Structure 1
Amino acid sequence: MKGFALCMAAVFLMGNTVYAAEKTEIKEKTAIPVHQTVVWDGTETKMPGYNIDGYTYFRLRDVAKMVSAYTADEKSYFDLDYQKETNTISIVTGKGKYMDPAREKVFDVGTEEKKAFLADTTVVVDRLRGLTDKGIGEGYVIDGYNFYKLGRIVGALGMQMNWCKEENVVEIVSLPKWDPNEPVVYRKPVIYLYPEKTMDVSVKLDYAGDLTVTYPTYQDGWQVTAQPDGTLTNHADGLEYSYLFWEGNGQLDVDFSEGFVIKGEDTAAFLQKTLSDMGLTPKEYNDFIVYWLPYMQDNAYNLISFQQENYTQQAKLDIQPAPDSVLRVFMAFRPLEKPVEVTPQKLQPFERNGFTVVEWGGTEVK
């Protein structure tokens, strides 16, 4: 173990387990038994599992036991709930230490290879940390038990997993957890208006939190004259603006179950490409990067996730006349000392049609 700290890297393997599910009609795979060394917040253990196609899978209930027994952060503890009607396993946090209802003896995989079949059970995670019924990836049924990748489970719970390939050791580290009851700072949402012809536009923000800064001043909404190039003339003061700006404190159901882990030094290039792919113009994504890069480039890594529906539900816009196309981009990020595994987020491209509204903003979650 003495060399382990020097050879950590993001891991994209391991798995977990639990209740039995029916075998689906697919070609069987070979499951090779393993006893994997897993270090939980400094405590070394051996976990029985199976290697399938180069990835190691574990029973979900065994992971629950290990988390309860060895992780330092009690918020990581989880229970399991199986709904037979929907063939769904729910990972339920906030229930204290896991108590195995079967009180079974220590599980062992033995030494013989087994047949593995793709599971048809869905596994979802509760909403305690902004996780919104996201699955944890495919699992396999072996001898009537479900097995899943460890990284997908601990990542969904906000923990970090590293793998030392040279020593074949996995390390799990509890991360500081995001508290969903803590107010989120909505930083610099800016709103661009692009009508097809010069027109007067009313913009109102339906936001449950407290507005801390607006520019121009928000007076029960903004009343502006918008030009096709995005230039705005504010009716209240007669001055010209490039966009409407606001910041505030409020609640946001931050979802980090999908996203991207990016080195701090690579953040600018990542944002430039990703925001362009999402539909922002060079001017818009340059404005975004100039604002956010000082917060991100010096971090070892950044966990980045675009919140989309979570954001638009909390900060609704009422724009009259109604726009033909609207793009609202809201980034949440968390600085990391080490990389973690996360499901890649799928982002949809945006097509501008007619009167177009574009907004971007973000928040840092520590």
Structure 2
Amino acid sequence: MRRDLPYVVVWGFMLVSCYKGRLLPIEGNVRFNLIKSDTYTLLYMETEKWYPNFNLTIEFNLIQHGKTIKVELLGVYEPHILLPALGPARGIDSLTLTNGLNNLLFTYGSYTDYYAVQVDTCIHVIPIITNFTVYDSTLYGGLVRKPNIYLYVDLGTNGWCVSQPEIISFLQWLLPEYGFNPRECDDFIQYWGDKLMGSPYYEIYPITLEQIDLICPMKVSPAPDNVLRLWLYIVPTKQYRVLAPPDIPKFTRDGFVVTEWGVIIEE
């Protein structure tokens, strides 16, 4: 590891604004060590009270404009990955999930949490922490994934602006349109319904499979027949704004299906 390279420490809130996308402020202390000419290693100390304290190290891209340093970070609430109970019925006793760095072996009725290791081109060992917990495994084997940091995502301009009194009925319409079944819709609304009450309006932008795979790839083995991944980027706002609704892709729910939903709230 080179020791003569730039070293920067940033404290407190960081708010990043990028063209055609949104990134959230993240509270904590962040330390950067340049390890090669075009990438950095980020050491991130989690400070949110409901997480244990630990250091998280990932690779990321840094943008420098003169003396201003902008860090591409994105705070994400816990997406839910749902593995239907079709697995055992199809002779599948266990599944392996991986995003290229982290691996998790899921066995129906139990789970194992791995502490993965990445070695980059500078032979610097980077520990990656991934937290999983069992989610309603009596109805369908499932996992709750708790990521801490993601990279920039292009939201585009298509979405919906929904008043607070209509938010529940809107979600009851929207989620089945994307392919979620009644139980998954109920889980989503029960989890998020009372968290979307503090603003007169909410702008809602969908992030779908292709976009999520770019910033958070996931591989399931044995491979499912169909995968549904949807995150909603939600922006609380005081005023109504007319938005052009996006096209909703058709989802085929046949065979062994893995579904995932998550929410990102701009603060």
TM-score w.r.t. the length of structure 1 is 0.44
Is 1:274 aligned to residue 168 of structure 2? no
Please tell me the residue identity of whatever aligns with 2:104.
Answer: W
Q: Which has more strand, going by share of residues?
A: 1
2:218 match: secondary structure: strand
CA distance in 1, matches of 2:239, 2:134: 45
Q: Give the one of 309, 323, 346 matched to 2:224.
A: 323
Question: Per-residue displacement from partner, 1:33-64 (whole Å, max 9, x unpaired)?
Answer: xxxxxxxxxxxxxxxxxxxxxxxxxxxxxxxx
- The Cα of 1:297 is off from its aligned counterpart by 2.7
Matched with 2:139 is: none
Any residues of structure 2 matched to 1:65-214 within 5 Å, and which? 128-130=19-21, 181=71, 183-194=73-84, 195=87, 196-199=89-92, 200-206=94-100
Please tell me the residue identity of whatever aligns with 1:233.
Answer: S
CA distance in 2, matches of 1:310, 1:240: 26
Matched with 2:239 is: 338
Q: Give the one of 188, 202, 207 matched to 1:302.
A: 202
Contact 2:232 2:264 in 1 (8 A): yes
2:247 match: secondary structure: coil
Alignment gaps of 5+ in structure 2: 1-16, 23-69, 115-132, 137-141
CA distance in 1, matches of 2:170, 2:19: 29
Matched with 1:252 is: 152
Contact 2:224 2:258 in 1 (8 A): yes
CA distance in 2, matches of 1:328, 1:270: 19
- The Cα of 1:313 is off from its aligned counterpart by 1.0
Question: Per-residue displacement from partner, 1:256-286 (whole Å, max 9, x unpaired)?
Answer: 5000000011111101111012111121111
CA distance in 2, matches of 1:198, 1:318: 19
Please tell me the residue identity of whatever aligns with 1:246.
Answer: R
CA distance in 1, matches of 2:154, 2:171: 19
Contact 1:181 1:251 in 2 (8 A): no
Matched with 1:54 is: none
1:185 match: secondary structure: coil
Moved over 3 A (4+): none
- The Cα of 1:253 is off from its aligned counterpart by 1.3
TM-score w.r.t. the length of structure 2 is 0.59
Over 3 Å counting, the alpha-carbon distance change for 1:181 and 1:258 in structure 2 is farther
Contact 1:201 1:225 in 2 (8 A): yes
- The Cα of 1:182 is off from its aligned counterpart by 5.0
Over 3 Å counting, the alpha-carbon distance change for 1:190 and 1:206 in structure 2 is farther
2:190 match: secondary structure: helix
2:194 match: secondary structure: helix
CA distance in 1, matches of 2:190, 2:72: 27
Please tell me the residue identity of whatever aligns with 2:255.
Answer: G
Q: Give the one of 107, 110, 121 matched to 1:233.
A: 110
- The Cα of 1:324 is off from its aligned counterpart by 0.8
Q: Give the one of 101, 105, 117 matched to 1:223.
A: 105
CA distance in 1, matches of 2:160, 2:153: 18
Alignment gaps of 5+ in structure 1: 1-93, 95-126, 132-179, 208-219, 227-231
1:202 match: secondary structure: strand
- The Cα of 1:353 is off from its aligned counterpart by 1.7
Please tell me the residue identity of whatever aligns with 1:201.
Answer: L
Contact 2:135 2:144 in 1 (8 A): no
CA distance in 2, matches of 1:289, 1:340: 23
CA distance in 1, matches of 2:186, 2:72: 30
Question: Per-residue displacement from partner, 1:294-331 (whole Å, max 9, x unpaired)?
Answer: 23233100000111132221011011111110000111
Over 3 Å counting, the alpha-carbon distance change for 1:236 and 1:310 in structure 2 is closer
